[in-house]
Chains A and B, each alone.
Chain A
Amino acid sequence: MTEPILQITDLRVEFPGLVRNVKALRGVRLDLHKGQVVGLVGESGSGKSLTALACLGLVPSPGKVSGSVKLDGYEVVGRGEPELAHLRGGVAAMIFQNPMRALNPFFTIGQQMVEVIRCHRPFGKKEAVQAARKGLQDVQMPDPEIALGKYPHQMSGGQIQRVMIALGLACKPRLLIADECTTALDVTVQAQIIVLLRELASAYDLAVLFITHDLSVVATVCDRVAVMYAGEVVENGLVVDVFADPLHPYTRKLMSTVPTLGRADGELESIRGQVPDLALPMAGCTFCDRCDFATDVCATTPPGMQGYRADHQAACHHTAQRVATE
C-alpha cells in the first residue's frame, strides 16, 4: 500500500471549560489513500467537523490538539502558521457547509479566487485570472467571465459551492475535505454538487473525505465509510460491508433509523438515551449507556478498534462473538 494522503493517529482535541475541560476528540484514527472517497458520518457533536478542521490546523484557538495528523507525510499538529498556510489549499482543501457566509462579501469572486491562486502558484495577475476562469469552467459554472465580477451576495448557494470547489481545486491539492457541504442546499442542487465532486475526484485522482450526517449520500458517493461517535471513530470499512452488515451497535442503530420508502411497517426508530457529556471522564466504551448489548466489560474497558473482517473494523467488545458465529 502506498503512503496514505491523510493519516490521522490518536488525534485528541481538548477545550478548556469553565469547570472541566471538554474532550471533543478522543483518539481519532483514520487513513485515506489516493483516489479514495471516504465518508465520515456521525450525529452533531460527534466530532466529525472538528476532525476535518484539525486536518488543516484550523482548530479554534482555545482548543489543544495532540496526536498526529499527516497530510501527504507532512505533520500538521504543532506546525507553525506560515508552513500551515502552505499546506492549506496546497495539499488539502476544505469546502465548508454554509456557502452564503463562506466568502468575503466585500470582494468579488474573481478577486478572492485570484488571491488564493496567487498564494499557491507563482502566477502574475493575468495568469491567475485565467486560471480562475478555467477553474469556474471546470465546475460547470454558467458564464464564468461574468461570475468573476460578481459579489457573493449576488449568487445562489449552489453557485457559491461551485466557486468553493473551484477554489479548492485551483491550488491543486491531493485531498479534498467536504464538510457537510451540501446540507444547506436544495435537494436537486445537492445531487448536482455531489456528482460534480465525484467526477472531479476521479478526473484529478483526488482523495476525498466526505463529511455528512446523511447516510444516503454516503451510500451513493463513497467507497469507504468511517462512523464517529462521541469523539472517536467507532467503525471503519467499505461502504458495501458496513451498510450490509454494520458491526458496531451504534452503526446498526444508525442504519435502522433511516426510514425507507415503501416500508410502512413499525415506528420510526430512535436511539435511546443522549450523547454523553464530553467533559466527564469516561471509562470503558462511550456507547455503553445506550447500547443494547452492553455487558460489564463495556463499562470498564475501552474497546480498541478491532478488525473482524478484511478491511472492516469496529470498536466493540462483542463483535468478535457475532462474527465468529457466522
Chain B
Amino acid sequence: MIKYIASRLILMVGILFGVLTITFFLGRVLPASPTNLILGDRPTAEQILRAEEELGLNKPLLTQYGLYLGQVARGDLGTSLRTSVPVIVEIRNRMGATIELTTLAIIIVIIIGIPLGVLSAVKQNSWLDNLARAGAVGGVAIPAFLLAMILQIIFYGQLNWLPLQGRLDSEILLDVKFPRTTGLFLIDTLMAGEWGAFKSAVLHLILPTLTLAIVTLASVTRITRNMMVEVLGEEYIRTAFAYGVPKRSIYYRHALKATLIPMMTVIGLTYGILLGGSVVVEFLFDWPGLGGFLVLSIVQNDFPAVLGTTLFLAATYLGINLIVDLLYFVVDPRLKTQ
C-alpha cells in the first residue's frame, strides 16, 4: 500500500512538472505579449529590448525555465504587471471569495444531487425519475451564463429581491470594517458581529451559488443515478434479494455503499471543476475571486498574474484528485486489505 501511495505521489509530481512546463511555455515561448503591458502600443525596438532584459526574456530558454522552476519552488509566482503586487498575495486575498462560493455550491449539490440520483435509480421510470432525468439533461445543456442572466433578470430585474453583483453592498464595503480572518465573509461577518454585513453577504451569495449549483447538480444527479443503476444490476444485489434481505436494506445499505465509494471521486472531480469553472460565474457576478482575477488579468495582458493563477488553480485541482485517490484507501475494502 505504501508503494502505491508513493507511486501516486511521484506521478503527481511528474504531472505537476508537466503543468509547470505548459504554463511556462504559454507564458514565455509563445508570441511576445508579456512586454505589451509595460510598453503600451507601438514600442520602439529599443524599448522592447530593454523590457525583455528586465523580464529576463533574452536569456536562453533553458535558463529561463530553470529560473522559473526555482521561483515557483520558492512560492514566488511573479508580480502582477498591473498592480505591482506579488501574484501569490493577490491569490491569497481572493482565495476566500472563490472558496466560499464553490464550497457552498458543492454542499448544495451533494445534499440535493446525491439523494435525488439514488431515489431516481431506486424508482426507475417513476415520475420522480423522469423529472430528475429531464432536469439533468436540460441542466447540462444550459450555459452557465444564460442561467445566471435569467436569474438576474427574475430576482433583480423583476422582483428586486436580490442584488445584481458583488459580494457586499457598496455602502457596507465602505463603512463597515471587519477583519478578513478566513476570507469567507459569512464567517468573518458573524465573528465580528456585523449583522448588516452578514445579511448583505448572504444575499449576494445566493444567485452566484445557485447558478453554479444548478449547472453542477444536473451532471452529479445524472452520474449518481447511472452509478446506482449499474450497482443495482450487479450479481451480489441479486444474491441479497435471493436470500430474503428486505428491499430497503438492499437499496440503502448494500447498493448505496457500493455507489457512494466511487461517488467520492466524482465529488472530488466536481469540486475541482467548480474551482476552474467558476470563472464565468465570477466574471458575470463581478465576484472578486480567483476566476474573476484570471479574466481581468488576461484582458489586461497581465501575464505573471495569468500564469500564476492558472498554476495555482491547476495545482489545487491536482491536489484534490490526490486526496480523493488516497481517501479510497480508507474506504474501499478491496484496497484497504491488500
Contact = CB atoms under 8 A, between A and B. Distances in A.
Interface of A: 56, 58, 81-82, 84-90, 93-94, 96, 98, 101-108, 115-116, 119-120, 151, 153-154, 164, 167-168, 171
Contact of B239 (A96, A108, A119): A96
Given A106-B257, A106-B332, A96 B244 contact: no
Interface stretch (B182-190, B216-224, B245-253, B295-303): B245-253
A119 B242 CA distance: 12
A168 B243 CA distance: 8
Contact of B243 (A98, A106, A171): A171
B243 A88 contact: yes
B28 interface: no
Contacts of B247: 81, 85
A108 B244 CA distance: 18
B54 interface: no
**Ordered nearest first, which 5 A-B pairs have the shortest CB separation?**
A89-B244, A88-B244, A101-B235, A89-B243, A85-B244
B333 A151 contact: yes
A291 B50 CA distance: 96
B241 interface: yes
Contact of B242 (A88, A104, A105, A115): A88
Which residue, of B235, B237, B332, has the highest number of chain A Cβ atoms within 10 A? B235
Interface of B: 234-247, 249, 254, 257-258, 261, 332-334, 337
B258 A151 contact: no
B244 A90 contact: yes
B261 to A, nearest CB: 7
A149 to B, nearest CB: 10
A106 B333 contact: yes
A104 B241 contact: no
A287 B272 CA distance: 61
B241 A58 contact: yes
Given A58-B238, A101-B234, A107-B254, 18 more contacts: A81-B247, A85-B241, A85-B244, A85-B246, A86-B244, A89-B242, A90-B244, A96-B238, A96-B239, A96-B242, A101-B236, A102-B239, A104-B236, A106-B257, A119-B243, A151-B333, A151-B334, A171-B243
Contacts of B249: 115
B236 to A, nearest CB: 4
